[in-house]
Structure 1
Amino acid sequence: MRIGTRKSTMALAQTEDIARRLKAAAPDLDVEIVKFETVGDTDQTSKLLMHGGKGGAFVAEIRAAVRAGRLHAAMHSLKDMPGNEDTPGLVIGATLARDPPTDALVLRAGVSMEDIRRSRGKGFRLGTNAVRRAAYARRLFPDIEVIHYRGAADTRVRKLDQSEMQRLPGGGEVGPADALIMARSGLERVGLANRIAYEFSPLEMLPAVGQGIVAVECAAADWQTRRYLSLIDDPAAHLSCDAEREVLWVLNGHCNSPIAGYSTIDAARMSLTASVLDEVGRQFIEVSRSGPAERPRELGRAVGLALLDKGAAAVIERTRPEPIKG
């Protein structure tokens, strides 16, 4: 089985984990990891919306290889997969057990969480490329300066430690950063969990849809690959995947929409919370619902529709990027 993945340290670690699980479940299976340098990896200056969001930057090239038959499967971080569009001919064949989905604060030497809290962020620069994290950060620290910050997880921490300036898409530089907000699971994957200065609870910063879940995508008609992938599929993670992504589908969000969603399962019940924010975090709409865990899409649809009833569509439309000319 040929599995495609990005070349980043974290993506390779995730894909190697998939390969180990497949070999354990099916010892006769040969697994080959095929590395891709996606446009999002080669261009670490532009904002991701210039490439069609995370889907265009990190997912599209590997998906195309699956569709063309050059790969049997593709590894994605679920949060990078667009949820507001159809993917004809492809299916998520497996989701691994969910890693911690929370976001974490990484600080440069000499800065403390108490410093940032006491000042409401005034005088501090926070680096992130995620519009959701930026919006929540501005709610938590109203006076903080959020700066555009790109790169693989380990690269971002190195830039923080070395006080490097960050190049801007239109030219010029910004920075250096005093702090970064990153996924806890990503920091753990690259061996930097010791850099976590503070972990945000879901009540403070609701995770991105699918955050902490590794997904393996394959051709819908490739039943042999689907059979192998089913051997490593985590049912609870797949239920959460279906519920949270249904919210994205209902909202028809885009790559510049600060949308969050997170579900938990307790016995046969699933609880799902999702939110929509404006870019500065001032307008905030949140909905929580629960229902049978065996009907995740139904629950996701109910939450998405409730968000629309509260005005989410107008917030999403205001954050929609202008069409790229050229």
Structure 2
Amino acid sequence: MALAQTNDVARLLRAAAPDLAVEVVKFETRGDRDQTSKLLQHGGKGGAFVAEIREAMRAGTLQAAMHSLKDVPGNEETPGLVLGAMLARDAANDSLVLRPGLSLETLRAARGKGFMIGTNAVRRAAYLRRLFPEATVIHFRGAADTRIAKLDRGDRQRLPDGGAVGPADALVMARSGLERIGMAARIAHDFSIDEMLPAVGQGIVTVECVETDWATRARLAAIDNVPSRLSAEAEREVLWVLNGHCNSPIAGHAMVAGHEMTLRASVLDDAGRFIEATRRGPANRPRELGRAVGMELLEKGAAEIIARTRPDEH
């Protein structure tokens, strides 16, 4: 999937500048090499999928790097680097994939009882416990196509301690990822924004580069999508205000309609606590809107939930 996303970036750059020589460099990160451990053990998604690539850019090995924006930490500074382009947003919602022979109707009727649903995202796990309170939510990792293959074969998911869980009856995955690997036909149900608010930045591909590399920044500006950037800035401002960490179930989604933006965000945990805020404002002031939503969540008690899930407090 990452290669398909990178090829999309290369195609857009070549279209914007036909004389530009674009080389796609494959880069294997910690998260790619370790398909078993929880992402928390690598410092969250930032440590698993972003940190090594950033080191390569600072060293001059890479001029730019593609990331799924949801994997880029939003609560910390990135000295010397800048997100130079946000591509047009793909579908932002999550989807349910079922093991062959199972039906959505059966899952719903049972409220999940007897079902094991796999995900590696604490946000998705928290929402699943609200939607299917009697299901067992299990840790399930791997590339998108690998996860589906394991689901279909009935494989158990290996755990870092040598144990295993599963097999899974269903998986929750990003629709955009399923579309990119040609497996959208496996979707049994698309979760609405009301059912499962997406991760901040979900569906947006971003391209990062060195802050002082003005030539590369100019190239990336040519493929930047304004609505995506505005939405990303609003959503990521919520993360900044909340100081969320990699284990925080924080969700956020912004929509631009004309000159107006609607931003919705939530903080929840696996104990059933749920806080949400929605605001509208001028689309050209996304950070201000994100700050207002983040502050409202804090006023409603978000800091307590986030502190309770912080790794160093256990």
1:322: how far off? 3.2
Please point out which of 283, 289, 294 is paired with 1:299: 289
Residue identity opposite 1:40 in structure 2: G
Aligned to 1:79: 70
* 1:317 corresponds to 2:310: no
Runs of 4+ in 1 over 3 A off after TM superposition: none
Partners of 1:289 and 1:69 lie apart in 2 by: 41
Kept in 2, the 8 Å contact 1:279–1:319? The answer is no
Kept in 2, the 8 Å contact 1:94–1:232? The answer is yes
Provide Cα deviations, 1:150-207, integer angstroms capped at 9, x if missing partner: 0000000000000001101211111100000000000000010000000000000000
Aligned to 1:207: 198
1:117: how far off? 0.8
Aligned to 2:100: 109
Kept in 1, the 8 Å contact 2:74–2:237? The answer is yes
Please point out which of 162, 176, 179 is paired with 2:167: 176
1:58: how far off? 0.4
Q: Percent identity?
A: 70
Please point out which of 124, 143, 147 is paired with 1:152: 143
1:188-199 matches, cutoff 5 A: 188-199=179-190
Aligned to 1:4: none
* 1:61 corresponds to 2:45: no
Partners of 2:240 and 2:127 lie apart in 1 by: 22
Aligned to 2:276: 286
Provide Cα deviations, 1:14-34, integer angstroms capped at 9, x if missing partner: 000110110011011100111
Residue identity opposite 1:314 in structure 2: E
Provide Cα deviations, 1:19-70, integer angstroms capped at 9, x if missing partner: 0110011011100111111111111111000000000000000011111111
Structure 2 unaligned spans of 5+: none
Kept in 1, the 8 Å contact 2:307–2:313? The answer is no
Partners of 1:112 and 1:320 lie apart in 2 by: 36
Aligned to 1:45: 36
1:323: how far off? 7.2
Secondary structure of 1:121's counterpart equals coil
Please point out which of 232, 245, 248 is paired with 1:254: 245
Secondary structure of 1:33's counterpart equals coil
Residue correspondences, number = 314
Secondary structure of 2:15's counterpart equals helix
1:229: how far off? 0.4
Secondary structure of 2:25's counterpart equals strand
Residue identity opposite 1:168 in structure 2: L
Partners of 2:226 and 2:33 lie apart in 1 by: 35
Aligned to 1:223: 214
* 1:242 corresponds to 2:236: no
Please point out which of 2, 11, 23 is paired with 2:14: 23
TM-score, with structure 1 as normaliser: 0.95
Residue identity opposite 1:72 in structure 2: Q
Kept in 1, the 8 Å contact 2:234–2:290? The answer is yes
Kept in 2, the 8 Å contact 1:291–1:299? The answer is yes
* 1:269 corresponds to 2:260: yes
* 1:127 corresponds to 2:122: no
Partners of 2:210 and 2:27 lie apart in 1 by: 18
1:293: how far off? 0.3
TM-score, with structure 2 as normaliser: 0.99
Aligned to 2:61: 70
Partners of 1:258 and 1:159 lie apart in 2 by: 26
